[in-house]
Amino acid sequence: MIVEDDSALRELLRDALEKRKYTVIAAADGKEALAKFRPSIVDLVITDLLMPEEDGLMVIMKIREIKPSTKVIAISGGGMAGPGSYLMMASKLGADAVISKPFLPSELVMKVKELLE
């Protein structure tokens, strides 16, 4: 599952993952993601952190409650600087990996593969 409010990036990540034969569910914000999240079919969630409605930190917390074994990759462009950065908070909330934007799709795909193996 991809949770990203920027539509261009969301479609790019979808393309990159579908090309590698992953089935992708996409959501534009945390609220939509939680509505679409199905524990039986979602193995991994890639979530942006700064989003309208429910943000990525909430997505991580709630998914950790619903299905703790779900792998989570947090991505962020560093909107909140310093030691309290969103990526650091995502990591503390249990994200399995964090990736700073900008990144290459191949970097993300490699991380997805690593976490699902």
Residue 96 sits in the site that holds another protein (CB under 8 A): no
Smallest distance, another protein to C-beta of residue 38, A: 19
Q: What is the DSSP letter of 71?
A: E
Q: Give exposure, 79-111, as e/b (b: 16+ Cβ within 10 Å).
A: eeeeeebbbbbbbebebbbbbeeeeeeeebbeb
**Contact range with another protein by CB under 8 A, out of 21-29, 37-45, 74-82:** 74-82
Convert residues 6-45 into a mask of x (bound to another protein by CB under 8 A) and - (unbound): x-xx--xx-xx--x--------------------------
Q: Are 66 and 97 in contact (CB under 8 A)?
A: no
- Cα separation, 25 vs 94, in Å, equals 21
Per CB under 8 A, residues contacting another protein are 6, 8-9, 12-13, 15-16, 19, 48, 50, 54, 58, 61-62, 64-65, 68, 76-82, 84, 89, 92-94, 100-106
